[in-house]
């Protein structure tokens, strides 16, 4: 276990899952037969809209009857099919590993351990912006093996055939380092390219600091080395050992986004194209521009997401929460990937019911890997997977596309439409 | 006395041993034809009032890589410089001094590995780079057509023995010398390819397979004009009458030889450059020297870059473009 902290997540619960696996999704089995369990009182309705939403299984379950026809026996949670396709990749469950940026938490060993485990799980892995300019690409001549290449190799060495994929982000400053061109012409990415498992993600923004670019804290010497590429401020005082390094958010209009996506498809025809948006108020418009331009997936980071270090004023006051992004985007036919405080199955299911195709693990994945570098993330995902099976099965649904907003109840809202449709 | 070579142009996908390549009569003939191409082109351009400049090799920025090619970094006293992928930015700047310029310029592009065996890609190659202040695309197409015809005539005359030794059929060039080059729009080319059951994207460059296919349908070079924005870098000028359409072109050689030359009108106004840089995912800060010039005014212009080795391959009728260079460098293959 390392000293990594995530004060706004239920860190002990995440660490318990990383350590104990699926046992941790149930009450302590020692108490079985001796303790009376019951619902946890809604403690002052803490959390966001998604936390407050309740998953509401119906009494009548026509889709279970369909599954019963298919199986010739009563379906169980083990019969739920979680396999799906997201952003052009085949995945065993609707989960991906979010990008960690160049922030210190994502440094070195944690990033490599997370990559290996994401590979083993067969879930897509996004590699963050600035990883190349900050950590180097990892070719022997220009940098350490914990850079982009190290992470790609750790992932490809572990991933089962036909599953998952690697997604390499690039933002405005990364364009100077030609991250995508580099990966596209590198022998180490050939196997992924040849099997259709390489994607490039255009980073338009991020959840933690909507409207801002990346921000990290560096020592003065580290900052001096990158001062040609980034703005460096003495935000912590002239005597402080550390300085603030900022990236530009990049300038986007509808036309700029459309053409950048076109150019990605033109220049890298064998790679998938993902676009990452911050939770902007025009998120529906931006997502539609990206999809119509040919993006295979749009990723939206809720304002509650992000591993990034950000000014408090942004953490508390800026950007749409994930539930509101999902509401605004509404119905669509394309792949929408979301992230923001995801660590267990109910939040994933709620996102899917609201229209997402998959949910990303960010901080929770880092915590899990820091709890157990060998298997922490695998165990955390196994927990989430079992919860998803249990929840879908409870809803009488056995395929992900059957989920919809009727499966959720937001306090104070009641819609009789579904009941009215009942015979 | 002309020596007729056995199976002269048949070549393996990749070059063999360097000594054999350097001593091969095919290499000798190809390089002599290349010499004639350079001389014929220079003669034509000199007659039309062009000044030949010698090209910069490195600079703080270069033509942003298209179609997945990577640039090569060079350490310049602690500054990150680039080897030229093309001299386009310098061509525009040079028009501050001369109205009609050309370079015979070396280019280096780390092309994607999948291009190693297309027979059409070299990492290190040369372009005849031409730029004319105030020219329209149509004027440049006429100039290029004239240049090709003049140079082909020159080579047919001056390299007779070499063409014969390579068993290049002189009649292959009769339509080129006789008939005007056809001009298709990108949209028409996409429709033609779809008619040939090739799934060409309407938003992207003609892919390599499509280029070969379309090039097999004709008996003389032709132009594809009006590529969609999003298929090219920021220097290609956008039509003001038809937004989203670029005032650019490719010259495609017949008989499957494929694309030999790209060009068009340029983006030159400061604000348009900023917009187009963003649309192509570029960070304007990187292009400071060029944008400074543009802010104070760069001439409107049009021009082209004609691939010397590809032109040589076509004229000599070679199997593979690496046969048209003494020291072939193919994507991913470390050779001298």
- The radius of gyration of chain B from alpha carbons, rounded to an integer in Å, stands at 20
**Cross-chain CB nearest to B203 (options A185, A267, A294):** A294
Strands of B91-247 (E only): list them. 100-108, 124-133, 183-185, 222-225
Predicted pLDDT at A36 = 64
B100-108 sheet: strands from edge to edge: B51-52, B100-108, B124-133, B301-307, B258-265, B248-253, B222-225, B183-185
Distance CA B123, CA A184 (A): 15
Q: What is the mean pLDDT of residues A36-42?
A: 59
Chain A interface mutation, best of B63, B112, B262, highest count of A Cβ atoms under 10 Å: B112
In three-state secondary structure terms, B153 is: helix
Q: Which of B186, B167, B314 is nearest to B253 (CA)?
A: B314
Predicted pLDDT at A236 = 84
Question: Which chain B residue shows the shortest CA-CA distance from A171?
Answer: B281
**Cross-chain CB nearest to B279 (options A180, A255, A294):** A255
What DSSP line would sit under A217-255, residue for residue?
EEEHHHHHHHTTTSEEE-TT-TT-SEEEEE-------HH
On whether the CB atoms of residues A380 and A342 are closer than 8 A, the answer is no
Predicted pLDDT at A109 = 82
Percent of chain A surpassing pLDDT 90: 55
Predicted pLDDT at B2 = 47
Distance CA A373, CA A1 (A): 8
Q: Which of A9-18, A294-303, A409-418 has the lowest mean pLDDT?
A: A409-418
Confidence bin at A422 (pLDDT 50/70/90): low
Residues of chain A whose beta carbon is less than 8 angstroms from a beta carbon of chain B are 170, 172-173, 175-176, 178, 180-182, 184-185, 187, 190, 202, 228, 248, 250-253, 255-256, 258-270, 293-294
Percent of chain B surpassing pLDDT 90: 79
Pick the residue with more confidence: A170 or B108?
Answer: B108
On whether the CB atoms of residues A199 and A296 are closer than 8 A, the answer is yes
pLDDT in tens, A295-315: 999 999 888 765 556 788 887
Q: What is the mean pLDDT of residues B58-84?
A: 88
On whether the CB atoms of residues B82 and B62 are closer than 8 A, the answer is yes
Encoding tokens for residue B53?
A: 């400049």
Predicted pLDDT at A39 = 62
Distance CA A350, CA A115 (A): 26
Contacts of B52 (CB under 8 A, 6+ apart): B42, B45, B46, B101, B102, B103, B104
**Cross-chain CB nearest to A260 (options B80, B279, B332):** B279
Predicted pLDDT at B154 = 98
Q: From chain A, pick out residues whose CB is under 8 angstroms from the CB of B70.
A: 178, 181-182, 184-185
Chain B interface mutation, best of A169, A185, A250, A264, highest count of B Cβ atoms under 10 Å: A185
Contact B65 A250 (CB under 8 A): no
pLDDT, averaged across chain A: 86
Predicted pLDDT at A143 = 45
Pick the residue with more confidence: B256 or A400?
Answer: A400
Inform me whether the pLDDT recorded for B174 exceeds 80: yes
Q: From chain B, pick out residues whose CB is under 8 angstroms from the CB of A253.
A: 278
Predicted pLDDT at B10 = 66
Pick the residue with more confidence: B285 or A41?
Answer: B285
On whether the CB atoms of residues A366 and A342 are closer than 8 A, the answer is no
Chain A interface mutation, best of B62, B64, B66, B68, highest count of A Cβ atoms under 10 Å: B68
Predicted pLDDT at A241 = 86
Contact B110 A256 (CB under 8 A): no
Residue written as token pair 């958010």:
A249
Within 10 angstroms of residue B189's Cβ, the number of other Cβ atoms is 23
Encoding tokens for residue A250?
A: 């990049």
Confidence bin at B38 (pLDDT 50/70/90): very high
Predicted pLDDT at B1 = 40
Inform me whether the pLDDT recorded for A144 exceeds 50: no
Residue written as token pair 């997540």:
A9
CATH superfamily label, B3-334: Bira Bifunctional Protein; Domain 2 (3.30.930.10)
CA of A202 to nearest chain B CA: how many angstroms apart?
Answer: 9
Q: What is the mean pLDDT of residues B243-259?
A: 94
Q: What is the mean pLDDT of residues A382-411?
A: 97
The pTM assigned to this predicted structure is 0.86
Predicted pLDDT at A262 = 94
pLDDT in tens, A237-275: 888 888 888 888 889 999 999 999 999 999 899 999 999
Predicted pLDDT at A206 = 77
Q: What is the mean pLDDT of residues B156-160?
A: 97
Contact A263 B113 (CB under 8 A): no
Inform me whether the pLDDT recorded for A140 exceeds 50: no
Q: What is the mean pLDDT of residues A285-294?
A: 97
pLDDT in tens, A40-99: 555 445 678 899 999 999 999 999 999 999 999 999 999 999 999 999 999 999 999 998
Q: Which of B44, B209, B202 is nearest to B114 (CA)?
A: B209
Q: From chain B, pick out residues whose CB is under 8 angstroms from the CB of A176.
A: 283, 286
Pick the residue with more confidence: B232 or A413?
Answer: B232
Distance CA B76, CA B59 (A): 9
* Residue count (chain A): 423
Predicted pLDDT at A141 = 40
Chain B interface mutation, best of A246, A259, A271, highest count of B Cβ atoms under 10 Å: A259
Pick the residue with more confidence: A139 or A287?
Answer: A287
Predicted pLDDT at B260 = 96
Q: What is the mean pLDDT of residues A166-188?
A: 82
CB pairs under 8 A between A and B: 94
Distance CA A203, CA A213 (A): 10
Predicted pLDDT at A46 = 60
CA of A263 to nearest chain B CA: how many angstroms apart?
Answer: 4
Strand partners, B100: B132
**Cross-chain CB nearest to A185 (options B68, B207, B282):** B68
Inform me whether the pLDDT recorded for A100 exceeds 50: yes
Domain ranges of chain B: 3-334
On whether the CB atoms of residues A163 and A90 are closer than 8 A, the answer is yes
Q: From chain B, pick out residues whose CB is under 8 angstroms from the CB of A261.
A: 230
Confidence bin at A106 (pLDDT 50/70/90): low
Distance CA B183, CA B188 (A): 10
Question: Which chain B residue shows the shortest CA-CA distance from A247?
Answer: B283
Predicted pLDDT at B70 = 87
Q: What is the mean pLDDT of residues B281-304?
A: 95
| Complex ipTM value | 0.81
Strand partners, B12: none
Per-residue CA distances from B313 to A9, A327, B160, B259, B323 (Å): 64, 58, 16, 11, 7
Within 10 angstroms of residue B197's Cβ, the number of other Cβ atoms is 7
Predicted pLDDT at A9 = 85
Inform me whether the pLDDT recorded for A414 exceeds 90: no
pLDDT in tens, B195-246: 999 988 888 888 888 888 888 888 999 999 999 998 899 999 999 999 999 9
**Cross-chain CB nearest to B229 (options A259, A267, A270):** A259
Inform me whether the pLDDT recorded for B292 exceeds 50: yes
């Amino acid at each position: 276990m390392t000293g990594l902290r995530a004060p706004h997540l239920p860190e002990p619960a995440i660490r318990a899952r990383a350590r104990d696996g699926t046992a941790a999704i149930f009450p302590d089995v020692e108490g079985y037969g001796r303790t009376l369990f019951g619902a946890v009182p809604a403690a002052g309705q803490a959390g966001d809209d998604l936390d407050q939403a309740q998953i509401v299984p119906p009494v009548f379950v026509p889709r279970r009857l369909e599954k019963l026809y298919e199986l010739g026996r009563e379906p169980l949670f083990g019969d739920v099919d979680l396999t799906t396709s997201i952003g052009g990749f085949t995945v065993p469950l609707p989960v991906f590993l979010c990008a960690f940026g160049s922030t210190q938490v994502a440094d070195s060993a944690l990033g490599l351990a997370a990559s290996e485990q994401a590979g083993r799980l067969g879930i897509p892995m996004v590699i963050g912006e600035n990883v190349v300019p900050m950590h180097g690409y990892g070719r022997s001549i220009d940098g350490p093996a914990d850079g982009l290449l190290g992470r790609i190799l750790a992932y490809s060495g572990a991933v089962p055939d036909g599953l998952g994929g690697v997604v390499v982000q690039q933002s405005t400053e990364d364009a100077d380092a030609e991250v995508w061109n580099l990966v596209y012409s590198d022998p180490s990415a050939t196997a992924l390219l040849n099997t259709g498992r390489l994607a490039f993600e255009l980073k338009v923004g991020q959840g933690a600091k909507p409207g801002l670019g990346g921000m990290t804290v560096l020592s003065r010497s580290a900052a001096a080395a990158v001062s040609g590429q980034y703005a460096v401020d003495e935000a912590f005082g002239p005597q402080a050992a550390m300085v603030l390094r900022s990236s530009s958010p990049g300038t986007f209009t509808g036309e700029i986004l459309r053409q950048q996506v076109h150019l990605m498809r033109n220049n890298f025809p064998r790679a998938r194209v993902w676009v990452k948006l911050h939770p902007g108020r025009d998120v529906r418009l931006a997502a539609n521009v990206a999809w119509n331009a040919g993006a295979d997936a749009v990723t939206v980071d809720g304002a509650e997401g992000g591993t990034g270090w950000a000014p408090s004023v942004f953490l508390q006051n800026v950007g749409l929460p994930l539930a509101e992004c999902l509401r605004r985007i509404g119905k669509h036919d394309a792949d929408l990937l979301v992230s923001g405080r995801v660590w267990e199955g109910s939040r994933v299911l709620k996102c899917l019911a609201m229209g997402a195709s998959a949910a990303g693990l960010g901080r929770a994945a880092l915590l899990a890997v820091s709890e157990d570098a060998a298997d922490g993330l695998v165990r955390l995902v196994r927990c989430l997977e079992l919860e998803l099976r249990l929840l879908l099965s409870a809803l009488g649904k056995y395929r992900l596309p059957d989920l919809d907003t009727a499966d959720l109840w937001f306090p104070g809202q009641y819609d009789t439409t579904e009941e009215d449709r009942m015979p | 006395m002309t020596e007729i070579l056995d199976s002269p142009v048949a070549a393996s996908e990749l070059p063999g041993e360097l000594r054999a390549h350097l001593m091969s009569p095919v290499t000798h003939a190809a390089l002599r034809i290349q010499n004639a191409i350079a001389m014929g082109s220079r003669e034509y351009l000199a007659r039309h009032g062009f000044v030949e400049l010698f090209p910069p090799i490195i600079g703080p920025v270069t033509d942003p890589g298209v179609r997945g090619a990577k640039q090569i970094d060079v350490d310049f006293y602690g500054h990150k410089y680039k080897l030229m992928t093309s001299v386009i930015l310098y061509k525009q700047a040079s028009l501050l001094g001369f109205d009609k310029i050309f370079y015979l310029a070396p280019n280096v592009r780390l092309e994607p590995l999948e291009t190693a065996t297309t027979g059409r890609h070299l990492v290190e190659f040369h372009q005849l780079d031409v730029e004319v202040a105030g020219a329209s695309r149509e004027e440049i197409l006429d100039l290029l057509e004239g240049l090709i015809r003049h140079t082909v005539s020159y080579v047919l005359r001056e390299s007779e023995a070499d063409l014969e030794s390579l068993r290049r059929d002189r009649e292959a060039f009769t339509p080129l010398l006789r008939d005007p080059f056809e001009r298709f729009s990108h949209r028409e080319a996409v429709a033609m390819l779809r008619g040939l059951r090739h799934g060409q994207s309407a938003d992207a460059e003609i892919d390599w397979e499509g280029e070969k296919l379309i090039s097999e349908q004709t008996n003389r070079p032709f132009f594809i004009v009006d590529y969609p924005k999003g298929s090219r870098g920021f220097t290609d000028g956008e039509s003001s009458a038809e937004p989203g359409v670029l005032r650019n072109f490719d010259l495609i050689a017949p008989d499957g030889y494929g694309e030999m030359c790209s060009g068009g009108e340029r983006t030159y106004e400061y604000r348009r450059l900023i917009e187009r840089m963003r649309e192509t995912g570029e960070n304007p800060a990187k292009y400071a020297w060029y944008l400074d010039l543009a802010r104070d005014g760069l001439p409107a212009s049009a021009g082209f870059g004609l691939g010397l080795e590809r032109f040589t391959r076509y004229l000599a009728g070679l199997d593979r473009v690496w046969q048209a260079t003494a020291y072939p460098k193919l994507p991913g293959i470390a050779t001298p």
